[in-house]
Homo-oligomer: A and B are copies of this chain.
Amino acid sequence: PSSGTGDGMFTSSADLQGLLYTESELVNKLNEYVQEETERIESLKKLVKEYEALRDNAFESGEKFVGNPLNSFLLIKKLTSDWKTVQNLIQNSVGEKFVANLTEQRDNFVLRWPSDEDLNGAATGLMRLQDTYRLDTDSLSRGIFLNGQEYGPTLSAHDCFELGRQTYNNGDYYHTTIWMEQAMKLYNEEIEKTISKADILEYLAFSAYMSGNIRRALKLTNEMLDLHPDHPRGWGNKQYYEQTLKKKGASFQKRGEDG
């Protein structure tokens, strides 16, 4: 199976070659951008050193400093003429232009660019492949699939998280749970974390809730709040799960009375 599952969920080989070209162009452009920005910051650092030297000289000289007319001139120059140079370096960051150029190339079809739907399609295709060949999640994320015959790339915790997020958006909570659990497993192994534990716990709670396991959703949310007490949605989610549990308890009781 060298060109995907053949069910139309993957874009064609030619499409992917186009995306590879885009990716390769992006690497060149990003390196240029990083180079430009590094030079800009280096120039700025040199100027800041001069500002520091004047300040240090002033503090060391005390009253004598302002009595010297050469110092007055240099101090005023630092805050007028030289400051314009500093200001230009600060405002001359090429970020907006860089992004605008790329957006133009995308909009004019110079560079092929996948959409969020393409990402969802690729994730869905992978899930179908996993189901069809009954591939083990852990092996798959480590690049081993088709009974250990093929070696692919290895996934990061963030890659597994993204797979889980896409399947969650498709209402496929079974795959959400197993891929978020795999994300957590890899998170615990990663030295340089690619995602936060709170993000994984939040999605695990979402999928537990959507699968009808509200107690588990609440437990996972509490775990998340222990880690991240100022989580922007955590306390709201907790309250919602608690209210749902209460209502459910009430409705169980009611059903019990009714039936």
Contact = CB atoms under 8 A, between A and B. Distances in A.
A78 B41 contact: no
Contact of A93 (B95, B115, B145): B95
A163 interface: yes
Contacts of A78: 23
A71 interface: yes
Interface string A70-93: 111111111111010011001111
A36 to B, nearest CB: 10
Total copies of the chain: 2
Given A70-B153, A80-B114, A75 B23 contact: yes
A72 B6 CA distance: 13
A87 to B, nearest CB: 6
Given A30-B44, A95-B91, A13 B162 contact: no
Interface string A85-118: 0110011110110110000000000000111101
Interface stretch (A120-128, A204-212, A251-259): A120-128
A143 interface: yes
Nearest to A117: B80
Given A70-B155, A140-B70, A152-B70, A55 B22 contact: no
Interface of A: 1-5, 10-11, 13, 16-17, 19-20, 22-24, 26-27, 30-31, 33-34, 37-38, 41, 44-45, 47-48, 51-52, 54-55, 57-58, 63-81, 83, 86-87, 90-93, 95-96, 98-99, 113-116, 118-119, 122-123, 125-126, 129, 140, 143, 145, 150, 152-153, 155, 159, 162-163
